[in-house]
Structure 1
Amino acid sequence: MYQSEKTKRAHGVAVCLDQSAAKVWNASGSAWEAVSSRILTVRLGRKPINITVTAVYAPVNPANGQKSEVEASEDFYKCLQETIDKVQKQDMVLIMGDFNARLGQQQNLTAGEVVGRHTVDVENLNGELLVDFCSINNMVVTNTFFEHKPVHQTSWMHPGTKEWHMLDYTLVNRKFRTSVHDVRAYRAAGGAIGTDHHLMRTKVRIHLKCRQKKKKNGRLKLDPKKLQNQSLTKCFEDEVEEKRKTEYSNDMSLDEKYANFVKYVRECANKLFQSDDNTKPRKPWLTDEILDIVKQKASAFLNWQNHRGLVLEHKFRNSYRALTKLVKRKVEERQNSYWEEISLEIENAVKQNDPATAYALIRRLRGGKNSVECMPIQDKDGNLLTATNDRLERWKEYFCEMLNVHTVVDPRLLEAIPLPSIDPVEEARQDKVPDLKEVMDAIKQ
């Protein structure tokens, strides 16, 4: 354990190793460094992958933007960055501890490669610094990628509001993200050592070989932006027409011509409109303008870190803070306008008596799917059914009664209905094989 304060025991971090880990640590040279009262590193040398564990204790989140507290948080991340820069690039880096940071859904929307979907708070300043640090160092906040009950995600209760928050995190290099199998909090362990934080456990199992899934030959994925490009669309039409003229022959049957036509369309579309595999689907409200500002913010943070302690530090820090506020404002404005647009579409769909479109838009806003198992189902007497077999029997009974309706029809009425007739000219037109122009017009529709 390392403790720098001799009088006020305010800080201090430690790394405790069990016997097997201690043997590995001793065999690899017992490398460790007490960087400060808030940062301590231990390196476990083990072939083929070495692990560097860093224990941290970040300053509290600045209250009302107090300058001294803001500078303390900035100095902490500057020191942490200098510590990480010393770690060998091939090492697996685990940074664990109390970051006093809160992460929310906004970080997942703007930095999904760093923060997962399972957050419980609203972001604060320490949370922004944490995300920026991870983005620069290609690290991920592993807690947010695992779904648990809120009681197993949060680790600290605010003494005033009595609300629980997630403050303790485990960071890991992005390339080792799959080696982290689970992160969750344990309530019982906190009382054993007299702390107001719950124990955060991280399960790690190192994968020495990348597990690649076999690619399936699914349907062709096209980039919508490329489909709207007029020049690419013209090239596509020209290439399909050229292949049709050069490779079609009169000896082909209709089925062969159709199969070749489909093949030509797929080949040309794959060549001109194929979607980039690295492109992840983004939120429908997220615009290129917001993404550009996010990139500028990341660049501004890097410039600020590179000018720490210099005359221009104040300038780059103000630039970073201004861009952070701009991102927040742009995201809120775009989200509000997106909701208004979808609400207007829902209203128009209802007015036009189009419930399918209206409910599809409502589901898009709500997100997720209805769980059939959670829907209340009652029998004929109004009793709630909970067993799966009882639910299935009730559905069977319902459809049998609804669809198998006993009806009585007078055969004389059926015989009195005149059979439809068609004009011979129209019948001949319908029996005629469609020409190429008709096929192209049908495809355009």
Structure 2
Amino acid sequence: MLDYILVNHKFRSSVQDVRAHRDATGGIGTDHNLLRAKIRLHLKCRRKTEEKYRLRLDQSKLTDDCLLSAFQIELANERKAIRRDNKTLSVNEKFTNFLTVFENVTGNYIAARPTRINIGTENVLKVPDPTAAFQIIRRLRGNGQGIKHIPVQNKNHLILTNSKDQLNRWKEYFDKMLNVDTTINEQVLQQIPSPTFDDDELSRQDAVPTLDEVVKTIGQIRNKKAPGKDDVPAELLKAGGHYIAEWLHEIIRDVWEQEVV
């Protein structure tokens, strides 16, 4: 072949189709062919989202009273150091300072030591070919039972061996579980009494959250659950004791009064 279309490696994925038109150059006496390329450019760069490093905790350190006492004292000292500028800061800036200090102090006291990677695992991570890496991982893991080999039964408790029948059974199962036929009786809804609140109850609900409520709420959070967007687990909030409750109460009070989230 004498006719090529040269494309930069960076824009190689933008080429969608290439065709040669032999009859287009028949009248000009040339042995070259007319080439046509269909290109769609992606000018906007796609940025890879970097996953934030999540701090690993050493649960055994949470039972050390001396370590927890030092952890709480360090939090109290850090809060006193930045409390002077709190009057001029916004709610978001106060919460950002809280997370920064909390993460730094936690890393000094309760963070877990990095575990040593197995030599075999380290060699697998260095393999440049993902296919070969996954083959090595499967070989090291052993022959486990795959998902496709898990038996699926029908309504009569008979095992289905055909993959199509298994998919239909799963479809039938979820269709019955998620799509429940319900009928709403309007008369029953009208008989439900509407809740009424007196002035004392309304004033109590509209009042600023107290410190005791914050302490009670922190104590009711369940342990060993996935943290929220701030990556602060419940164990650390409880380990901070009264100092964390006071700090959070200050932020919650500003959110309540300024109506800013």
TM-score range, shorter chain: 0.3 to 0.5
More helix by share: 2
Q: Which has the higher strand share?
A: 1
Task: Give the TM-score of the pair, scaled to structure 1.
Answer: 0.28
